[in-house]
Structure 1
Amino acid sequence: MTLFSDFGLAQPILKALVSEGYEKPTPIQAQAIPHVMAGRDICGIAQTGTGKTAAFALPILHRLSEKSRPLARKSCRVLVLSPTRELSGQIADSFRTYGRNLRLSTSVVFGGVTIGKQERELSGGVDILVATPGRLLDLIDRGSLTLRDVEILVLDEADQMLDLGFIHALKRVVKLLPKDRQSLFFSATMPKTIASLADDFLRDPAKVAVTPVATTAERVEQSVIFVQTSQKSPLLEAVLRDESIDRVLVFTRTKHGADKVVRYLEKVGIAAAAIHGNKSQPQRERALAAFRAGTCRVLVATDIAARGIDVDGVSHVVNYDLPNVPESYVHRIGRTARAGATGLAISFCNDEERAYLKDIEKLTRLKVPVMPLPADMPAPVPASELREPRREQPQRGRPAPHARGHQGHGQSRSADPSADRGPKRRSRGPKPAANAGQPNGGQKQSQARPAQRPSQGQPAQKRSDNRGDGAQVAWLDKGPRRR
């Protein structure tokens, strides 16, 4: 198959492809589309950026258009599971783009946003539902969605789902699906755990593999710069001063590291935004929208975005931190050189990361060329100027009288300001009021005499003091106490 028109796709779909400028299928599309249109299960091995989404979206849209039927309430005909919010949104956008000339509904659900709006969208049923596993199960548990009418299941980026701990959620979803369904399973790698999961999902699948598991993008020019940790930020600044850089993705290993890089760049006058798991969904959407629009040319991300960002025009990928999982390197640099373009991937490597570099070169079977440090490295910004702004802390004081010694209904222990001040000393019994047990409600008595202490030189005696609450406390008087 050399043209999309050779597959026999419905004319409304071909019309949408022509308007998008697509004529020839990619290798994964050429192999997968005929099997999907024939109704077979598929086990596909393809790295990101190979056109995998269209490989299942186009034939699914064709099949739905051929077999239109009324939708049941709170149901879907096609379920697509993906690991991240960003990837889910992009898959849904692809379905809407390719199927814009068809009367098919598409919805996307993921966590981080209010669930009420999503429930309302699903109340009348949808043709295509794209979801992350966690939010999908939330909707099912609330009675807002049923999977009994699913005709086609797609599991995209299966290996990343396992990395994110979705294995138990996926197994639960499988039990809720009808046995008579078509299943499409896509993954960039195929370790034993993924192969076992595929056996649970698929029946006599057609296997499609278009590239070796660890092949890096052919049009990506790779390089590595050996640098001390303290020099990474000035080096990044020097790289980003190059005006030839259009859009650049900077990858860090941690969420805190991503925020720290953004603060550094803003301090030196380079606009940047961060995207990671601690950011709210609106924050992530705004950052990604600005990056797509070109108003923010630097996006700093963790590996959650390595397979969740599909933005044309990413000219450079910078690995500020090398990943400790070598497969992640392949996915990171696959964010550039997309749609036939070329790209450049630069990795910063300190002494501790040299072992990670060896693992990457072993996996990819390529020696990454070494670049020298630039001669005009800027001076680093002092760490004291990069500290995160201190948040206002509530004043520490004595708890309100009604809060001491009593917790009301529904009041958590942490509501007490003193609840998290470190380990508590062992209690020696309940501490009564100073005059508990005395007449007149414990009021001060003029005739009350203080207990006599042993005079200096006398041996200390052990005695018991009845505090009035029935608790006998033994104590040893060792002479006069200092105030």
Structure 2
Amino acid sequence: MVDFNSFKLSKCIQDALVDIGHVKPTPIQEKSIPALLEGRDLLGIAQTGTGKTAAFSLPMIEKFISNEVKLMPNHCRAIILAPTRELVTQINESILSFSKKGNVRSTVIMGGVSSAPQVIALNEGVDIVVATPGRFIDLMEQGFIKLSQVETFVLDEADMMLDMGFYEGVIDIASKLPNLHQTVLFSATMPKEIETLANQILNKPVKVEVAAQSSTVDKIEQSVYFTLAENKNYLLLSLLEDKTKSRIIIFCKAKYAVSEVVELLARSDVSVGEIHSNLTQGQRNKAIEDFTSGAIRVLVATDIASRGIDINDVDLVINYNMPEDATYYVHRIGRTARAGREGVALSLCSEKDLPFLRNVQKLIGKNISQVLDHPFHHDYPLSKPKAKKRYKGRRRR
């Protein structure tokens, strides 16, 4: 059995891992950490919840503890870019827990909050910068972040970052790094754009993959409820009557839908919070804190949270709408069944959702089981009706 001791990490790291209950590495950690400790570049294909943060952060923390460097002002030794503020915050929290017994400093750089404290932290020099790409590029262009001492460059959830339009920004950052540095790229999917990016910024990388691309976790019980659009709210409220589900995330594909669902649940005395891009970072953090602590039972979110929330013990994920981009279905339901646990994912499907449901089933390579015995069921043809062949009469001679 492989355990963290087999990586021969510093005692302070091993003690920190014991303190937080990390004993056996996940498959992505088992495959990635040895290569990264050797200084290799790495291309990792893995979904959220597989332990990627420890996979890329433990080797850099080990390197920084065993080889201290005096940093010049506004310099750092590692850059970790992630697409959302929530994910950046959670990556930094993990790094703090892994490095709490070693002399390694990290800081968060992200939009939605004042940049002044971030600039002050950078002025002193910091080992690890965990950042969203937009704010990082902004501060870099203003001269508050300098790259000449960077040893490690990490892109987490790279496919989502490119979807957000940061391809050129990532290339620009990579072009300014020292010739000798390590690059790590993690992505949940492998579209052509990621392949192109990997070829540009990685040097003879080790490739690790722990699950088939776009697969869903086996321990998630998935089902779909067909209903008329006007009955979705009634169906949702009936599902929430199951009090055994104490921590629930509901995903909507638009901000206005989040507000409508939150208002519906609040009127029905369901404790609820929300996350979407119109909220300040403070409001989003408060919603996550309340949800994590159990102060609220339900969190309603847009896809901004589908890869940015890492909360244990989420009992149930409900797709109020099917996502237009099928890959987001995988990320949404991946909020449950974290770290080997079991979970449940339900999808509410009206006529408008049917083409998106078909795309999801094509992507994951299986049909999602239908629940028929509920009071708001409505029959829909799940497969596209075949076009009727036009009869061509036999030509008379």
Which residue number in structure 1 is paired with residue 155 of structure 2?
Answer: 155
User: Cα RMSD between the aligned structures?
Assistant: 1.2
- On the 8 A contact 1:45/1:189 being kept in 2, the answer is yes
Could you say what secondary structure the match of 1:339 adopts?
helix
The Cα shift of 1:340 comes to: 2.2
Q: Distance in 2 between matches of 1:63 and 1:41?
A: 15
Which residue number in structure 1 is paired with residue 33 of structure 2?
Answer: 33
Please say if 1:138 is aligned against 2:141: no
- On the 8 A contact 1:225/1:373 being kept in 2, the answer is no
The Cα shift of 1:21 comes to: 1.2
Could you say what secondary structure the match of 1:270 adopts?
coil
The Cα shift of 1:372 comes to: 2.4
Amino acid corresponding to residue 287 of structure 1 in structure 2: A
Q: Distance in 1 between matches of 2:285 and 2:313?
A: 18
Q: Distance in 2 between matches of 1:248 and 1:33?
A: 33
Could you say what secondary structure the match of 1:370 adopts?
strand
TM-score by length of 2: 0.93
Which residue number in structure 1 is paired with residue 269 of structure 2?
Answer: 269
Q: Give the 5 Å matches for 1:225-304.
A: 225-304=225-304
Which residue number in structure 1 is paired with residue 328 of structure 2?
Answer: 328
The Cα shift of 1:252 comes to: 0.3
Amino acid corresponding to residue 160 of structure 1 in structure 2: M
Q: Distance in 1 between matches of 2:268 and 2:373?
A: 19
Amino acid corresponding to residue 14 of structure 2 in structure 1: L
The Cα shift of 1:105 comes to: 0.5
Q: Distance in 2 between matches of 1:322 and 1:338?
A: 21
Which residue number in structure 2 is paired with residue 312 of structure 1?
Answer: 312
- On the 8 A contact 2:317/2:336 being kept in 1, the answer is yes
Q: Distance in 2 between matches of 1:223 and 1:131?
A: 36
- On the 8 A contact 2:80/2:130 being kept in 1, the answer is yes
Q: Distance in 1 between matches of 2:42 and 2:93?
A: 23
Could you say what secondary structure the match of 1:140 adopts?
helix
Could you give the per-residue CA deviations for residues 237-272 of structure 1, whole angstroms, max 9, x where no partner exists?
A: 111121101100100000111111101111111121
The Cα shift of 1:300 comes to: 0.5
TM-score by length of 1: 0.77
The Cα shift of 1:185 comes to: 0.5
Could you give the per-residue CA deviations for residues 207-230 of structure 1, whole angstroms, max 9, x where no partner exists?
A: 001110011011100000001111
Q: Distance in 1 between matches of 2:248 and 2:352?
A: 25
The Cα shift of 1:60 comes to: 1.1
Amino acid corresponding to residue 174 of structure 2 in structure 1: V
Could you give the per-residue CA deviations for residues 30-57 of structure 1, whole angstroms, max 9, x where no partner exists?
A: 0000000000000000011111111111
- On the 8 A contact 1:46/1:187 being kept in 2, the answer is yes
The Cα shift of 1:286 comes to: 0.5
Please say if 1:99 is aligned against 2:95: no
Bigger-Rg structure (1/2): 1
* More displaced stretch, 155-164 vs 173-182: 173-182
The Cα shift of 1:74 comes to: 0.5
Q: Distance in 2 between matches of 1:133 and 1:363?
A: 28
- Give ranges in structure 2 of 5+ residues lacking alignment: 378-397
Which residue number in structure 1 is paired with residue 218 of structure 2?
Answer: 218
Q: Distance in 2 between matches of 1:148 and 1:303?
A: 35
- On the 8 A contact 1:227/1:373 being kept in 2, the answer is no
Please say if 1:339 is aligned against 2:339: yes
Which residue number in structure 2 is paired with residue 49 of structure 1?
Answer: 49
Which residue number in structure 2 is paired with residue 81 of structure 1?
Answer: 81
- On the 8 A contact 1:123/1:144 being kept in 2, the answer is yes
Q: Distance in 2 between matches of 1:272 and 1:157?
A: 28
Amino acid corresponding to residue 283 of structure 1 in structure 2: Q
Could you give the per-residue CA deviations for residues 313-364 of structure 1, whole angstroms, max 9, x where no partner exists?
A: 1000000000111111111111001122110000001112111111111111
Which residue number in structure 2 is paired with residue 359 of structure 1?
Answer: 359
- On the 8 A contact 2:222/2:345 being kept in 1, the answer is yes
Q: Distance in 1 between matches of 2:78 and 2:260?
A: 41
The Cα shift of 1:168 comes to: 2.1
Could you give the per-residue CA deviations for residues 86-124 of structure 1, whole angstroms, max 9, x where no partner exists?
A: 000000011100111001111011000011111011111
Q: Distance in 1 between matches of 2:348 and 2:137?
A: 40
Q: Distance in 1 between matches of 2:174 and 2:59?
A: 22
The Cα shift of 1:141 comes to: 2.2
Q: Distance in 1 between matches of 2:231 and 2:85?
A: 33
Amino acid corresponding to residue 85 of structure 2 in structure 1: R
Which residue number in structure 1 is paired with residue 65 of structure 2?
Answer: 65
Residue identity over aligned pairs, in percent, reads: 43
Could you say what secondary structure the match of 2:168 adopts?
helix
- On the 8 A contact 2:235/2:376 being kept in 1, the answer is no
Which residue number in structure 2 is paired with residue 462 of structure 1?
Answer: none
Would the alpha carbon gap of residues 179 and 373 (structure 1) be closer, same or farther in structure 2, given more than 3 Å must change? farther
Q: Distance in 1 between matches of 2:353 and 2:284?
A: 29
Could you say what secondary structure the match of 1:244 adopts?
coil
Amino acid corresponding to residue 234 of structure 1 in structure 2: Y
- On the 8 A contact 1:107/1:126 being kept in 2, the answer is yes
Q: Give the 5 Å matches for 1:444-463.
A: none
The Cα shift of 1:142 comes to: 2.1
Could you give the per-residue CA deviations for residues 387-410 of structure 1, whole angstroms, max 9, x where no partner exists?
A: xxxxxxxxxxxxxxxxxxxxxxxx
Q: Distance in 1 between matches of 2:178 and 2:307?
A: 29
Q: Distance in 2 between matches of 1:373 and 1:149?
A: 62
Which residue number in structure 2 is paired with residue 164 of structure 1?
Answer: 164
Could you say what secondary structure the match of 1:256 adopts?
helix
Could you say what secondary structure the match of 1:83 adopts?
coil
Could you give the per-residue CA deviations for residues 284-307 of structure 1, whole angstroms, max 9, x where no partner exists?
A: 011011011110110011111101
Q: Distance in 2 between matches of 1:332 and 1:247?
A: 15
Q: Distance in 2 between matches of 1:176 and 1:301?
A: 36
Q: Distance in 2 between matches of 1:288 and 1:24?
A: 28
Structure with a larger share of its residues in helix: 2
- Structure 1 runs, 4 residues or longer, greater than 4 Å off: none
Could you say what secondary structure the match of 1:260 adopts?
helix
Task: Give the number of the structure with larger relative contact order, counting CA–CA contacts within 8 Å between residues 6 or more apart.
Answer: 2
- On the 8 A contact 2:270/2:297 being kept in 1, the answer is no
Amino acid corresponding to residue 229 of structure 1 in structure 2: A
* More displaced stretch, 365-374 vs 182-191: 365-374
Q: Distance in 2 between matches of 1:334 and 1:238?
A: 23
Q: Distance in 2 between matches of 1:261 and 1:366?
A: 29
* More displaced stretch, 290-299 vs 135-144: 135-144
